[in-house]
Amino acid sequence: MPPFRPKPSFKKEIKVTTLPPSTKRQANFFEEYYYLVLSVEFFVVALLVGAGGMGFWRGVLVGLLVAAFTAVIWQLRQYARFKNEPSAKLRLGPPTPEIKPLRPAKRPPVPFGPDGKKLFPPSYFPPLRDKKPKQ
Protein backbone atom coordinates (compact mmCIF):
# COMPACT_ATOMS: atom_id res chain seq x y z
CA MET A 1 0.00 0.00 0.00
CA PRO A 2 1.40 3.46 -0.94
CA PRO A 3 2.28 5.87 1.85
CA PHE A 4 -0.44 8.26 2.92
CA ARG A 5 -0.10 11.71 1.32
CA PRO A 6 -2.23 14.52 2.58
CA LYS A 7 -4.37 16.21 -0.04
CA PRO A 8 -3.06 19.63 -1.06
CA SER A 9 -5.09 22.52 0.21
CA PHE A 10 -6.10 24.94 -2.51
CA LYS A 11 -7.26 27.57 -0.11
CA LYS A 12 -4.90 30.50 -0.24
CA GLU A 13 -4.97 33.44 2.03
CA ILE A 14 -5.73 36.55 0.05
CA LYS A 15 -4.67 39.87 1.44
CA VAL A 16 -6.62 42.79 0.05
CA THR A 17 -5.16 46.25 0.26
CA THR A 18 -6.78 49.42 -0.95
CA LEU A 19 -4.90 52.13 -2.76
CA PRO A 20 -5.03 55.58 -1.20
CA PRO A 21 -6.60 58.30 -3.33
CA SER A 22 -4.20 60.26 -5.46
CA THR A 23 -3.15 63.64 -4.11
CA LYS A 24 -2.21 64.83 -7.59
CA ARG A 25 -4.77 67.23 -8.96
CA GLN A 26 -6.64 66.38 -12.15
CA ALA A 27 -5.37 68.22 -15.23
CA ASN A 28 -8.01 69.92 -17.33
CA PHE A 29 -8.28 69.53 -21.10
CA PHE A 30 -6.22 72.65 -21.86
CA GLU A 31 -3.39 71.56 -19.56
CA GLU A 32 -3.40 68.02 -20.94
CA TYR A 33 -3.29 69.04 -24.61
CA TYR A 34 -1.73 72.50 -24.32
CA TYR A 35 0.13 72.71 -27.64
CA LEU A 36 -2.60 70.88 -29.53
CA VAL A 37 -5.24 73.35 -28.32
CA LEU A 38 -3.00 76.31 -29.18
CA SER A 39 -2.34 74.99 -32.68
CA VAL A 40 -6.05 74.29 -33.30
CA GLU A 41 -6.86 77.79 -32.05
CA PHE A 42 -4.25 79.23 -34.43
CA PHE A 43 -5.63 77.35 -37.46
CA VAL A 44 -9.26 78.20 -36.69
CA VAL A 45 -8.56 81.91 -36.17
CA ALA A 46 -6.33 82.05 -39.27
CA LEU A 47 -9.02 80.34 -41.36
CA LEU A 48 -11.81 82.58 -40.07
CA VAL A 49 -9.84 85.81 -40.52
CA GLY A 50 -8.51 84.72 -43.91
CA ALA A 51 -11.96 83.69 -45.13
CA GLY A 52 -13.40 86.89 -43.70
CA GLY A 53 -11.69 88.87 -46.43
CA MET A 54 -8.41 89.93 -44.80
CA GLY A 55 -6.27 87.54 -46.86
CA PHE A 56 -4.20 84.46 -46.09
CA TRP A 57 -1.08 86.09 -44.62
CA ARG A 58 -2.99 88.53 -42.44
CA GLY A 59 -5.10 85.62 -41.20
CA VAL A 60 -1.91 83.72 -40.30
CA LEU A 61 -0.52 86.76 -38.44
CA VAL A 62 -3.75 87.32 -36.51
CA GLY A 63 -3.90 83.58 -35.67
CA LEU A 64 -0.33 83.68 -34.37
CA LEU A 65 -1.12 86.81 -32.37
CA VAL A 66 -4.21 85.25 -30.76
CA ALA A 67 -2.39 81.94 -29.98
CA ALA A 68 0.59 83.80 -28.46
CA PHE A 69 -1.73 86.02 -26.42
CA THR A 70 -3.55 82.91 -25.13
CA ALA A 71 -0.24 81.28 -24.13
CA VAL A 72 0.94 84.40 -22.27
CA ILE A 73 -2.37 84.78 -20.44
CA TRP A 74 -2.24 81.08 -19.46
CA GLN A 75 1.28 81.40 -18.08
CA LEU A 76 0.33 84.49 -16.06
CA ARG A 77 -2.70 82.64 -14.69
CA GLN A 78 -0.55 79.65 -13.70
CA TYR A 79 1.96 81.96 -12.01
CA ALA A 80 -0.73 83.76 -10.03
CA ARG A 81 -2.30 80.44 -9.04
CA PHE A 82 0.86 78.67 -7.81
CA LYS A 83 3.15 81.50 -6.66
CA ASN A 84 2.50 80.85 -2.95
CA GLU A 85 2.79 77.07 -3.12
CA PRO A 86 5.74 75.87 -1.00
CA SER A 87 6.84 73.16 -3.46
CA ALA A 88 7.32 75.77 -6.18
CA LYS A 89 9.61 77.98 -4.08
CA LEU A 90 13.36 77.70 -4.47
CA ARG A 91 15.29 76.08 -1.67
CA LEU A 92 17.85 78.25 0.00
CA GLY A 93 21.44 77.05 -0.12
CA PRO A 94 23.06 74.42 -2.29
CA PRO A 95 21.46 70.98 -2.28
CA THR A 96 23.26 68.34 -0.26
CA PRO A 97 24.47 65.55 -2.52
CA GLU A 98 23.24 62.12 -1.48
CA ILE A 99 25.63 60.30 -3.79
CA LYS A 100 29.32 61.04 -3.84
CA PRO A 101 30.70 61.84 -7.31
CA LEU A 102 32.68 59.12 -9.02
CA ARG A 103 36.39 59.73 -9.30
CA PRO A 104 38.87 57.59 -11.18
CA ALA A 105 40.75 55.08 -9.07
CA LYS A 106 44.48 55.50 -8.56
CA ARG A 107 46.55 53.49 -10.97
CA PRO A 108 49.39 51.33 -9.78
CA PRO A 109 52.86 52.73 -10.43
CA VAL A 110 54.49 51.85 -13.73
CA PRO A 111 57.10 49.10 -13.36
CA PHE A 112 60.67 49.93 -14.37
CA GLY A 113 63.20 47.46 -15.73
CA PRO A 114 66.83 47.07 -14.61
CA ASP A 115 67.95 49.58 -17.23
CA GLY A 116 65.60 52.27 -15.82
CA LYS A 117 63.15 52.20 -18.72
CA LYS A 118 59.45 51.57 -18.36
CA LEU A 119 58.29 48.01 -18.86
CA PHE A 120 55.33 47.72 -21.20
CA PRO A 121 53.20 44.62 -21.69
CA PRO A 122 54.01 42.62 -24.80
CA SER A 123 52.00 43.67 -27.82
CA TYR A 124 49.91 41.13 -29.65
CA PHE A 125 50.45 43.04 -32.87
CA PRO A 126 54.09 44.09 -32.93
CA PRO A 127 55.13 46.73 -35.46
CA LEU A 128 56.41 45.48 -38.79
CA ARG A 129 59.88 46.94 -38.28
CA ASP A 130 60.50 44.51 -35.38
CA LYS A 131 60.06 41.50 -37.64
CA LYS A 132 63.27 39.95 -38.72
CA PRO A 133 63.36 38.81 -42.33
CA LYS A 134 63.63 35.05 -42.73
CA GLN A 135 66.63 33.79 -44.69
Residue 66, class by beta-carbon neighbours within 10 Å (0-12 exposed, 13-18 middle, 19+ buried)?
A: middle
By residue range, what is the domain housing residue 52? 29-83
CA–CA distance, 109 with 123 (Å, rounded to integer)? 20
Q: How many CB atoms lie within 10 A of CB 47?
A: 14
pLDDT surpasses 70 at 100: yes
Total domains, the chain: 1
**Of 80 and 94, the one with more pLDDT:** 80
- pLDDT per position as a tens digit, 19-44: 888 887 788 888 888 999 999 999 99
Q: Is residue 110 part of a domain?
A: no
- pLDDT per position as a tens digit, 37-73: 999 999 999 999 999 998 999 999 999 999 999 999 9
* Predicted local confidence at residue 102, as pLDDT: 77
- Sorting pLDDT into bands at 50, 70 and 90, what band is 84? confident
pLDDT surpasses 60 at 117: yes
Q: Is residue 57 part of a domain?
A: yes
* Predicted local confidence at residue 109, as pLDDT: 80
Q: Is residue 41 part of a domain?
A: yes
